[in-house]
């Protein structure tokens, strides 16, 4: 009996242990489930909001085109992408993607539990968390909404979001978004960017072999990239082809044939043509739309730039400045009728310097400012042919006091009583210094500003030579002379003609609004003087055998040299100098650089090319001729007649003259 009792007690004890163990196990499971439920609830509570707007918004690459339709640049932030509709994507690419990434895509509800089971077996056998079993929907939510961290928590979030996404979007919408979102390597996001990057053509033009190659990239873009490992890329492509055949998307014979196709890659991609102009356009776009819209908004931007003229400008510079140590040059050409910028050239290498000499360089223009003084004078009734001053070394009193401005000619040659047109042909500094005092420095500045000079200028006598220590850009000078060419009609310089949104709607269309800033008769009189300068003055090296007007400009110590000129069809400025410092150009190819030399030569070479297919035409006659009247001033020698009488000016300067009418180096 005692033995029997002992056995019963042992059984009861074992039963108690079993009950306790079972209870503990159940409690542990319940606790784990509770923790799991709380974790999932917490995750679900913190999940990003899924809505149609959030789901469909994608950053896209913007593109800038030249006037002839050629691509200048693609600009984007972190992702190079162009969104295309699903019906524009080849069936081969859609089916290849489904075959290799998610063969049950049209059957599951966002999560493929069969695939998860297979992935789980792999996880156990490999002893680690492997990446597998994710559907196209899960990959999409991971890309758009979830981090790339590998963890069970992330997988739960993926599964929940994928299920939610399948409820608010149909399968085709999800597939379209996936194919426009996923990364294909080489900084290409989405199938269109990938097609352009690898094959240099639109996704709509891809064949079966090319589609299979792209379909195989998302799993490992770097490992399977044909640009880094062609062998691996071909093997992956062939795997996709066979999978497509196994699932019935293509015939086996099609798979075999496509697998033998060679891969022809785009040799270069993403290069920026005309980078200085592109940066100029890009900044205007950012000012208008903001950086995010420009880099992610998928804008299509059409511009005014003519690649042939760009090439002609650069070639003209290289033909003249072709030795190591030569100064730099910039050229800007504008259509006077509408302000369209046709060429914007800087001789510098963009990779070493992003400073745009054509726009950002503000250098003293020297005698190129004299036409603005003459414009102000003609507006006051001054006749350039019948208004005389004494050519002589002179001290000009500075407004507001201070030491006088001592003015000489470049070569210290003086011509006695000289009218304003002849003084322009000689580029006589002394006469135009006197003229600016008689018409008023403020009037000269006003004329320059109306014509197109935007840089600030001090109102002092030296404005006759562009203002000592002040600067303007080649773009401004080309624009201001374009106004003279257009009979006094100013047009704001335009670089962008049209901006289109990704859906094709036009958001901006250029609408030039020329406005009268100078009477046509005044502009015509100034043009006549500048025509004579090309025919027989300091600008004679710029003669292109057709009606043209222009002016040379050089600064003290030859630190800057200019030529700005125009025809009825084109206004072009050329500047030469050292960008980083003020160095005299007194030994370039064994000689000095002044406006009538290399700048005029570059201008001539460019204009001959730019206008070779443009018929010659004369400058239009004015509708209203200016009313000339006698000029009264402190310095004027004679105005209104043909027989000036020499005299000293009011400040007691003697009239030193020479009889030499030889070659004039003054500029």
Overall size of the chain counted in residues: 667
Higher pLDDT, 19 or 302: 302
Q: How many H helices and E strands in the chain? A: 21, 19
Give 427-476 pLDDT, tens digit per residue: 999 999 999 999 999 999 999 999 999 999 888 888 888 776 679 999 99
388 three-state secondary structure: strand
Q: How far apart are CA 202 and CA 385, in angstroms?
A: 63
Do 388 and 638 form a contact (C-beta atoms < 8 A)? yes
Please give the full DSSP string across 539-602, using - where no structure is assigned: TGGG--SSS-EEEEEE-GGG-EEEEEEE-SS-EEEEEEE-SSS------BTTB---TTTHHHHH
Give 462-512 pLDDT, tens digit per residue: 888 877 667 999 999 999 999 999 999 999 999 999 999 998 999 999 999
Instruction: Report the share of the chain in percent with pLDDT over 70.
Output: 81
188 three-state secondary structure: strand
Give 152-182 pLDDT, tens digit per residue: 566 677 778 878 888 888 999 999 999 999 9
For 236, residues 6+ apart whose C-beta sits below 8 A from its C-beta are 213, 216, 217, 224
Confidence label for 632 from pLDDT (cuts 50, 70 and 90): confident
How many alpha carbons fall within 13 Å on the CB side of residue 653?
24
Predicted local confidence at residue 42, as pLDDT: 43
Confidence label for 352 from pLDDT (cuts 50, 70 and 90): confident
Predicted local confidence at residue 528, as pLDDT: 97
Distances (CA, A) of 87 to 91, 175, 176, 218, 298: 9, 11, 9, 21, 19
- Sign of the alpha-carbon dihedral angle for 574, 580, 581, 586: negative
Do 428 and 415 form a contact (C-beta atoms < 8 A)? yes
For 293, residues 6+ apart whose C-beta sits below 8 A from its C-beta are 299
Q: How far apart are CA 115 and CA 523, in angstroms?
A: 80
Provide the strand spans (E) within 262-393. Answer: 300-303, 328-334, 341-346, 387-391
Q: What's the DSSP call for residue 75? A: E
Rg (CA), the chain: 38
Backbone dihedral angles phi then psi of residue 252, each to the nearest 5 degrees? -65, -35
Predicted local confidence at residue 540, as pLDDT: 94
Q: How far apart are CA 349 and CA 338, in angstroms?
A: 30
- Global pTM reads 0.82
């Amino acid at each position: 009996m005692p033995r029997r009792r002992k056995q019963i007690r042992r059984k009861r004890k074992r039963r108690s242990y079993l009950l306790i163990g079972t209870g503990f196990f159940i409690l542990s499971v319940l606790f784990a489930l509770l923790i799991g439920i709380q974790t999932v609830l917490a995750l679900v509570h913190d999940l990003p909001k899924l809505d149609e707007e959030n789901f469909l918004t994608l950053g896209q690459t913007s593109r800038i085109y030249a006037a002839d339709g050629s691509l200048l640049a693609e600009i984007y932030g972190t992702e190079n992408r162009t969104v295309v509709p699903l019906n524009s994507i080849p069936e081969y690419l859609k089916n290849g993607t489904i075959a290799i990434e998610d063969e049950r895509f049209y059957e599951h509800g966002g999560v493929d539990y069969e695939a998860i089971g297979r992935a789980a077996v792999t996880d156990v056998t490999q002893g680690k968390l492997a990446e597998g079993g994710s559907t196209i929907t899960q990959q999409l939510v991971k890309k758009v909404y979830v981090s790339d961290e590998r963890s069970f928590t992330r997988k739960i979030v993926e599964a929940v979001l994928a299920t939610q996404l399948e409820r608010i979007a149909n399968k085709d919408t999800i597939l379209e978004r996936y194919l426009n979102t996923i990364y294909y390597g080489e900084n290409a996001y989405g199938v269109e960017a990938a097609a352009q990057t690898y094959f240099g053509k639109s996704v709509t033009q891809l064949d079966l072999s090319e589609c299979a190659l792209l379909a195989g990239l998302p799993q490992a873009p770097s490992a399977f990239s044909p640009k880094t490992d062609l062998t691996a890329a071909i093997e992956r492509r062939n795997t996709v082809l066979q999978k497509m055949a196994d699932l019935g998307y293509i015939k086996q014979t099609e798979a075999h044939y496509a697998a033998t196709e060679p891969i022809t890659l785009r040799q270069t991609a993403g290069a920026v043509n005309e980078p200085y102009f592109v940066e100029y356009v890009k900044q205007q776009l950012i000012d208008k739309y903001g950086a995010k819209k420009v880099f992610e908004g998928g804008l299509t931007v059409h511009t005014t730039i003519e690649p042939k003229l760009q090439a002609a400008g650069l070639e003209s510079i290289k033909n003249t400045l072709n030795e190591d140590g030569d100064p730099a040059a910039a050229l800007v050409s504008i259509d006077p009728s509408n302000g369209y910028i046709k060429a914007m050239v800087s001789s510098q290498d963009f990779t070493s310097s992003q400073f745009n000499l054509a726009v950002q360089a503000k250098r003293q223009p020297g005698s190129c400012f004299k036409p603005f003084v003459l414009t102000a004078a003609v507006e006051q009734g001054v006749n350039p042919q019948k208004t005389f001053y004494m050519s002589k070394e002179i001290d000009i009193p500075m407004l507001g006091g201070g030491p006088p401005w001592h003015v000489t000619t470049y070569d210290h040659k003086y011509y006695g009583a000289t009218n304003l047109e002849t003084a322009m042909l000689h580029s006589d500094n002394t006469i135009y210094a006197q003229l600016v005092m008689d018409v008023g420095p403020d009037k000269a500045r006003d004329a320059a500003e109306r014509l197109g000079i935007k840089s600030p200028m001090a109102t002092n006598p030296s404005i006759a030579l562009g203002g000592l220590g002040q600067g303007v850009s080649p773009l401004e000078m080309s624009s201001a002379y374009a106004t003279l060419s257009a009979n006094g009609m100013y047009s704001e310089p335009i670089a962008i003609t049209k901006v289109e949104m990704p859906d094709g709607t036009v958001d901006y269309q250029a609408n030039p609004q020329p406005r009268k800033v100078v009477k046509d008769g005044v502009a015509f009189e100034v043009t006549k003087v500048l025509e004579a300068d090309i025919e027989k003055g300091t600008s004679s090296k710029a003669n292109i055998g057709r009606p043209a007007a222009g002016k040379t400009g050089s600064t003290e110590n030859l630190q800057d040299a200019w030529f700005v000129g125009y025809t009825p069809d084109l206004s072009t400025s050329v500047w030469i100098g050292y960008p980083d410092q003020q160095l005299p150009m007194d030994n370039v190819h064994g000689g000095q650089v002044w406006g009538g030399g290399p700048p005029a030569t570059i201008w001539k070479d460019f204009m001959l090319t730019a206008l070779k297919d443009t018929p010659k035409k004369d400058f239009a006659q004015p509708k209203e001729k200016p009313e000339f009247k006698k000029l009264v001033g402190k310095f004027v020698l004679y105005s209104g007649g043909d027989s000036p009488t020499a005299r000293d000016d009011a400040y007691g300067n003697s009239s030193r003259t020479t009889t030499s009418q030889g070659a004039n180096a003054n500029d």
